[in-house]
Structure 1
Amino acid sequence: MQRITLLFLIGLTLLFCSCRSDFETVASNGELGFSTDTVYLDTIFTNLSSSTYALKVYNHSKNDINIPVIKFAKGLNSKYRMSVDGSQGNQGKLFENVTLLAKDSLYIFIETTVKSDNSTPTEFLYTDQIEFDSGANLQKVELVTLVQDAILLYPNRNADGTTETLPIGNEKIYGFYLDKNDPIHGNELLFTNKKPYVIYGYAAVPEGETVTFEPGARVYFHANSGFIVSKNSSIHINGTKSTTDKLENEVIFSGNRQQPDFNYVPGQWGTVWLQKGSTNSTIQNLTLKNATVGLLIEDNDGKATPIKNTQIYNCTHFGIQAKNAMIEAENIVINYAGEASLACTYGGNYKFSHSTFNNNWSSPEQLAVYISNYLDGATPETKDLTAATFNNCIIYGSYSNEMLLGKKSGAAFVYQFNNCLIKSNKTNNSDYQFDTDPVHYNGIVLNKDPKFFNPNINNFNIDNTSPAFAKGNSAYLIPLDILGITRTLPPDLGAYQSKPFPK
């Protein structure tokens, strides 16, 4: 009997509390608080979903309130979607009778997918509002999204329903061959500056073909995407000097996440891979960022790949990873790489002039420059490094040693550093006798801070107080710096001609 009475009292208490809560909920009075009055959903590409953005709604009153309606001003036709405290409501557009407890808050998560049509410009604003309640109690939060019309390139579906793939050795990866006669895009081997391109999967250049990038071309890669330049094919990146900070004439490769939070996030996409046997490639005025490996170049066909006026930033492993390759480069800047900004491995032939190799990655294992004549597990394990020459360069970073020579017997290892600023703690090793080994080192500035303007945001300008100022050798002069500024004599080290820092 006592047990029955106890259960009855518990049930009565629960019933009373639930009724009391309903009874005490009052209508909202137009005094909700918001974490922001405008939600900016940063640049998205047409037909692609944005990231999810959060809006926090506050009830500062002492009463539990009922919000009669939360909806978009454009109603069910809005291109935005939202969830309110995990609820999807009516198609993610309309929510009725939302309870918000006293001194509490709720989250609204917002995203959008916007389709542009041929009548819209290449960039336009899509806007809407989230409306809370109505009439005298109506409150609004603005929504603003910049939408860019873009050309989407991705693997097609085969006749059997499978998705197009690319053969890589014995494996297959998600990717496709660029088609110069594509029925939708026309010549996919020509990237213009009329619209940005968004690539899903690996876009491969067919054997014997050349992919060309015009000045101002913009290419954005989804996760696990990139370019493959296959045997007997070429890549021509034809950027030119820009006159503003917008890099209007540079060719830019980046991830397709356009929010400011992703500006410096490495590993958002794969790599640009110049495979064994690729030929006659040229790269100039390219800005590449946020990849896993920026440029992966291996086993050229005996012709050096020229790389000029190129910046590579924020790569998970390497800015440039070369394997038994041939590269002749000038005015190169690389920073932030999980392993090495520049890795010239497994032999090859390399020449770098007036380049800045820095590494501010937050790991003591990082390097600015790594050079080797071997590859563990390969057959053969060693290959000749016939030349690794660095002229008027800066090799620096945030840790005590930023250069490493990986030398094994059984293959040539030829290297020379002329008029370079180098950060190294290996002066007791016979391979690093910077002052007494003229065969390998001449005019070295050792362990001096080059006083970059701001390496944390990849600004590697120097001024006349830098130890790299006027320390170059005119015999290795590249007349114009990476910005097209005429170098003075004797030249400064690195990719930038010195100038006063802005105040």
Structure 2
Amino acid sequence: MRNSFFFLFIIAAISLTSCRKDFDFEPSNGNLGFSKDTVYLDTVFTNIGSSTYTLKVYNRSDKDINIPTIQLAKGMNSKYRMMVDGMQGTEGKIFNNVELLAKDSLFIFIETTIDYDDFANPEAEYLYTDQILFDAGTKQQKVELVTLVKDAVFLYPTRDNEGNYEQIPIGVDEEGNPITGRGFFLDDTERHWTKDKPYVIYGYAGVPANETLTIDAGARVHFHSGSALIAYNGSSIKINGSRSFTNQLENEVIFEGDRLEPGFSDSPGQWLAIWLTNGSTGHEFTNLTIKNATVGILVSGNAGINNPVADLKLKNVQIYNSSNAGILAQTGHIQGENVVINWGGSSSFIGSYGGKYDFKHCTFNNNWSGSRKYAVALDNFIDGATPEIQPLDASFKNCIIFSSNQSGLLLNKKEGSDNFNTVFTKCQIKLSTSINTTNNLYSFVNDATNIVRNGNPNFLDISNNKLAIGEESSANGFGDSTVAAQVPEDIKGTARNLTSPDLGAYESITFEEE
């Protein structure tokens, strides 16, 4: 009996529903509300699609309405395209009879892809605009659309007649067979990058053997997802940035991804790396900022401790937001002064499988959450490699090595091995109190006249990669004068106090100066 009653109830409910009349929609009254009156799609490179931007449209009245048309003012010729509440309309340009319930809203999603060559009399940048029009006549409402379009030099692999991309070597497999990837070698006309236009890299851009890539002050280099710059055997990269005098960083060289929207400005892992392969040498990077890579600089299999001359010299170099490491060196030889590295998914600086490293007045910090996330990590072995152990010789003088985790420093020596030599002179180091400092690897931290263990570096703004130190910093005045005399200016060009120099890449400031 209960089942029969339930069945009759369902039938009645269906009958009542089926008798319901359709909604009555009245014409739009021209009183739509919008989440914004202008949609800025930020900056895009020619022929690279933008991110998707959102506009919300409100019907705040008590009546269901019909919007006769929603369309782009430039119609089918517009460089923008839309989706209105999941509808494609006419090629994303024109939508007819869009219904909107009382006290309800709808979403419009907007994108653009613009060919810079379509513009008349193009300049270095071009502002492209359009409007979204709602209805017509006296009831018409509009929302502005604005996009800044940049021209650029695009470097990418070619395709053959069968559509296959050009390939270049990127390593060997376990059996010694070559591995290739989609890429190209920079030719004679492509190995001098200037500040005239940004450069956008697709795939692997290779510096051929025994050639040099020269990059001028003020150059901007952007990498598409999965792209990298690779220096091959005997080749060199010379990055000749210089000090800037405005917030525009007019003379700094900047490497970052090709997504220019603010949401991507601090997003790690947008591109791969600057890869300095075995046998490449003579690299000099000056006044360079590297942002949002997987590995900022990858140094693999170079001569390390056996080479009397550094393969890579860094001066006034900043590396931020690397999803793996700011610098990952395997048996490399690096000299650095005024180097700043912040945020590394593994560690900020990794000196692995030995090598020779000499850093003066550098700031290494890592606030990436999770265990075993260090500012500096050093080891001298790879299990199963031939040879398994490589000698390590690492020197850090007047440096800050810090982290939000318990320790900013990891020293990992293969048990029973020799040739693991580290020197820390006048440094501030974050080191867990649980670490046994009677261990010879860490015993140097017991000398309070030489090492500030833990303390407060008093960074300006870690989350925004501002690692200048304030007047309350434990690093103030603790440095070695002899080392400071070798690096007499900080990363911003401020003269160091050679009597009592501060640690790290920055002389201390009052934060009001920023």
Shorter-chain TM-score category?
Answer: over 0.9
Partner residue in 1 for 2:20: 17
Q: Pairwise CA RMSD of aligned residues?
A: 1.9
Which of 482, 487, 510 is 1:500 aligned to? 510
Match of 1:394 in 2: 400
Question: Are the equivalent residues in 2 in contact too, given 1:417–1:442 (CA < 8 A)?
Answer: no
The percent identity for this pair of structures is 52
SS in 2 for 1:414: strand
1:429 & 1:163 partners in 2: Cα distance? 57
Please name the residue that 1:228 is paired with. 230
Pairwise CA distance, 1:173: 1.4
Quote the residue 1:150 is aligned against.
152
1:433 pairs with 2:453: no
The 2-side partners of 1:256 and 1:377 are apart by: 38
Residue 56 of structure 1 corresponds to which residue in structure 2?
A: 56
Unaligned runs of 5+ in 1: 181-186
CA 66–473 in structure 1, closer or farther in 2 if over 3 Å, else same: same
Following TM superposition, by how much is the alpha carbon of 1:300 offset from its aligned partner in structure 2, in angstroms? 2.8
Q: How many angstroms apart in 2 are the aligned matches of 1:328 and 1:207?
A: 23
Distance, in Å, in 2 between the alignment partners of 1:232 and 1:261 is 39
Alignment partners' CA distance in 1, 2:408 and 2:239: 29
Distance (whole Å) between structure 1 residues aligned to residue 199 and residue 395 of structure 2:
36
- The one-letter code of the counterpart of 2:98 is V
Whole-Å separation in 1 of the counterparts to 2:430 and 2:183: 41
Once residues 474 and 461 of structure 2 are traced to their aligned partners in structure 1, the CA distance between those partners, rounded to angstroms, is 16
| Match of residue 263 from structure 2 | 261
Describe how 1:449-464 pairs up with structure 2 within 5 A: 449-464=456-471
Contact conserved, 1:338 with 1:363, CA < 8 A, in 2?
no
How big is the shift at 1:47?
A: 1.5
Change over 3 Å in CA distance of 1:9–1:427 after alignment to 2: closer
AA at the equivalent of 1:312: I
Whole-angstrom CA distance in 2 between matches of 1:156 and 1:12: 65
Give, as a single letter, the amino acid of the residue that structure 1 aligns with 2:48.
L
Which secondary structure does the structure 1 equivalent of 2:463 belong to? helix
Aligned to 2:169, what secondary structure does the other structure show? strand
For residues 468-487 of structure 1, what are the structure 2 equivalents within 5 Å? 468-477=475-484, 478-487=487-496
Correspondence 1:406 to 2:406: no
* Counterpart-to-counterpart distance in 2, 1:104 and 1:242: 51
Given that 2:429 and 2:452 are in contact with CA atoms closer than 8 Å, whether structure 1 keeps it comes out as yes
Matched with 2:125 is 123
* Counterpart position of 1:355: 362
Amino acid at match of 1:173: G
Following TM superposition, by how much is the alpha carbon of 1:491 offset from its aligned partner in structure 2, in angstroms? 1.1
Query: What secondary structure, in the 3-state scheme, does the structure 2 residue paired with 1:76 have?
Result: helix
Q: Specify the alignment match of 2:175 in structure 1.
A: none
Q: In 2 relative to 1, CA 452–7 (structure 1 residues): closer, same or farther, beyond 3 Å?
A: closer
Q: Letter of the aligned partner of 1:483 in structure 2?
A: K
Question: What residue in structure 2 maps to residue 311 of structure 1?
Answer: 318
Letter in 2 for 1:110: I
State the one-letter code of the partner of 1:471.
F
Aligned to 2:100: 100
1:141 aligned partner: 143
Contact 1:418 1:442 in 2 (8 A): no
Is the 1:226–1:270 contact (alpha carbons within 8 Å) kept by the matching residues of 2?
A: yes
Task: Please say if 1:252 is aligned against 2:262.
Answer: no
Could you give the per-residue CA deviations for residues 50-81 of structure 1, whole angstroms, max 9, x where no partner exists? 11101111111222111000001111111100
- CA distance in 2 between partners of 1:13 and 1:435 (Å): 78
Residue equivalent to 1:31:
31
Alpha-carbon offset, residue 298 of structure 1 = 2.1
How far residue 410 of structure 1 moved from its aligned partner, in angstroms, is: 3.4
Q: Which runs of 5+ in 2 are unaligned?
A: 1-6, 173-177
Which is further off, 374-383 or 324-333?
A: 374-383
Per-residue CA distance 1:166-197 (angstroms, 9 max, x = gap)? 222232212111112xxxxxx11111100001
CA distance in structure 1 between the partners assigned to 2:473 and 2:12 by the alignment: 84
Tell me by how many angstroms 1:100 deviates.
Answer: 1.0
Does the 8 Å contact 1:225/1:269 carry over to 2? yes
Find the residue that maps to 1:17 and give its secondary structure: coil
Tell me by how many angstroms 1:32 deviates.
1.0
Deviation at 1:219, TM superposition (A): 0.6
Q: Which amino acid aligns with 2:405?
A: Y
- Report how many aligned residue pairs link the two structures: 485
Shift of 1:377: 3.1
Deviations 1:386-441 (A, max 9, x none): x200000000111111101010133410110000001101244512123557xxx9
Q: For residues 360 and 80 of structure 1, do their structure 2 counterparts lie closer, same or farther at Cα, with a shift above 3 Å needed?
A: same
TM-score in terms of structure 2 length:
0.91
Name the aligned partner's letter for residue 479 of structure 1.
P
Residues 165 and 17 (structure 1), Cα distance of their counterparts in 2 relative to 1, 3 Å cut: farther
Give the SS at the match of 1:461. Answer: strand
Kept after mapping to 1: 8 A contact 2:437/2:446:
no
Please say if 1:422 is aligned against 2:429: yes
Helix, strand or coil at the partner of 1:460 = strand
Hey, what does 1:113 align to over in structure 2?
Answer: 113
8 Å Cα contact 1:196/1:218 also seen in 2: yes
